[in-house]
Amino acid sequence: MTISIDRIDPRDTTQLDFARTAPQIVDAARAIPTATLHEAGGKIGAFASAIKPVAPGFRLCGPAVTVHAPGGDNLWLHRAIYAAQPGDVLVVSVSDAFEHGYWGEVMSTASQVRGLAGLVIDGCVRDGGLLEEIGFPVFARGLCIRGTGKDFGARGWINAPTVFGDVTVHAGDLIVGDSDGVVCIPRDRAGTVVEAGIAREANEADQCRRLRAGETTLDIFGWG
């Protein structure tokens, strides 16, 4: 007896044509800490503090490819790897079903071969040691060995606006991740925010120089 499965056509909820943050802005953002970009943009775009790099040296920067996946299912993540372009960052919501290992060695290898820039997932992954060895940047809530399914009848979305806590990410937004966490800068503000971030870094370097020369923070900021 053959059991029929009603399959969702992923093309119905996958958008491939969208504007990305310009490459020169992405390049300029690589050297700017996430906290600086968050502050320079007016305290915007900070992802949940639980989302951290799986390995200490991981850093990522690139335009977002957003994924909204059914809880406990990673089929849409596999699809997103091949919907994305080189340099893109997969930004994945898992419907608040955090406690599954949605990603591992095979998917990191596939994404590295594709030239993607990294993964940010509001959930867990597994194969932590192998992910560090592969070197493909992964940011997640933690490690979890619990497996996922692949339901071909479950609907997901690729490149639809996707909510991560109080941050809404649109396809093409600038995503930056470092040891402090992850920040999203809206594509249409990315150039201005990156410029402000560069200026902020220069200003803070000057403040540290003045502190080493004997001034106090109260002097520098006029709080004395």
1 is in an annotated binding site: no
CB 29 within 8 A of CB 61: yes
Other Cβ atoms closer than 10 A to 19:
11
Residue 83, SS3 per DSSP: helix
Distance CA 111, CA 103 (A): 11
Distance (Å) of CA 133 to CA 44, 52, 137, 210 = 32, 17, 10, 41
Q: Is 41 annotated as a binding residue?
A: no
**Is 7 known to sit in a ligand binding site?**
no
Q: Is 105 annotated as a binding residue?
A: yes
Between vectors from CA 140 to CA 160 and to CA 168, what angle results, nearest 5°? 30
126 is in an annotated binding site: yes
Structure tokens at 169: 């990410």
Distance in angstroms (rounded) separating the CA atoms of residues 164 and 182: 11
At which residue do the structure tokens 């790099």 appear?
53
> Does 87 carry a binding-site annotation?
no
Calpha distance 204→68 (Å, rounded): 38
Residue corresponding to tokens 């997901």: 156
Report which DSSP code applies to 201: H
Residue set of the binding site for Mg(2+): 127
Residue set of the binding site: 104-107, 126-127
Residue set of the binding site for substrate: 104-107, 126
